[in-house]
């Protein structure tokens, strides 16, 4: 499962919600978008999708109430990996790495899972199970998209 963006705000009175897309996905073939509610990943069946600019979609779901729709505001949106499109750009997109396991190249132990990121400054930070790791400090040794693992070399004393 891959985090593809974040639900922003509801739109109008016809049960639509704004989805700010950070990782491109095949929304025409995708049948469900998942969001974490009360600690569980809950699938929502897509009824319709309208594009609103380059990185914004208006999504409506089957059998959706306004109350549940309001609970999706500011929640991360996820889809099955098969719907995620390979990026055709050399531009670094930290959202793409959310959900990947970070493995120490020295001894093979799992450092943690990339839970989120902060790109509010020039120095992008990954939240790796509560530890903030500067993206610029990471040397990627191996990148495995199938297993969602990143083998990295970190500077001594970082964690």
Contacts of 74 (CB under 8 A, 6+ apart): 6, 7, 8
CATH code assigned to 94-153: 2.30.30
Domain 2-83: which CATH class?
A: mainly beta
pLDDT band at residue 33, thresholds of 50, 70 and 90? very high
pLDDT tens, residue by residue, 103-146: 998 888 999 999 998 988 888 999 999 989 998 888 888 888 77
Q: For the whole model, what pTM was predicted? A: 0.61
Domain residue limits, the chain: 2-83, 94-153
Residue-averaged pLDDT of the chain: 88
Q: Fold match between 2-83 and 94-153?
A: no
Contacts of 63 (CB under 8 A, 6+ apart): 45
The reported pLDDT for the residue numbered 89 is 53
pLDDT tens, residue by residue, 69-113: 999 999 999 999 899 877 555 567 788 888 899 999 888 899 999
Q: Give the Å distances, CA to CA, from 3 to 62, 83, 108, 109.
A: 21, 11, 25, 24
- pLDDT (mean) for 28-43: 92
Report the helix count and the strand count for the chain, using DSSP H and E. 1, 12
């Amino acid at each position: 499962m891959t985090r593809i963006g974040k639900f922003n705000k509801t739109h109008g009175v016809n049960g639509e919600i704004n989805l700010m897309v950070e990782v491109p996905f095949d929304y025409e073939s995708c049948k469900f978008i998942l969001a974490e509610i009360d600690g569980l990943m809950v699938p929502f069946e897509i009824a319709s999708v309208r594009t609103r600019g380059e990185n914004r979609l208006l999504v409506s779901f089957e059998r959706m109430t306004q109350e549940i729709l309001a609970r999706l505001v500011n929640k991360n949106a996820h889809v099955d990996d098969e719907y995620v499109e390979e990026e055709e750009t050399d531009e670094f997109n930290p959202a793409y790495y959310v959900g990947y396991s970070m493995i120490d190249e020295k001894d093979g132990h799992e450092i943690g899972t990339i839970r989120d990121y902060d790109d509010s400054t020039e120095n992008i930070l990954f939240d790796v199970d509560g530890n903030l790791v500067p993206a610029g400090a990471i040397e990627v040794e191996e990148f495995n998209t199938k297993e969602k693992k990143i083998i990295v070399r970190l500077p001594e004393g970082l964690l």
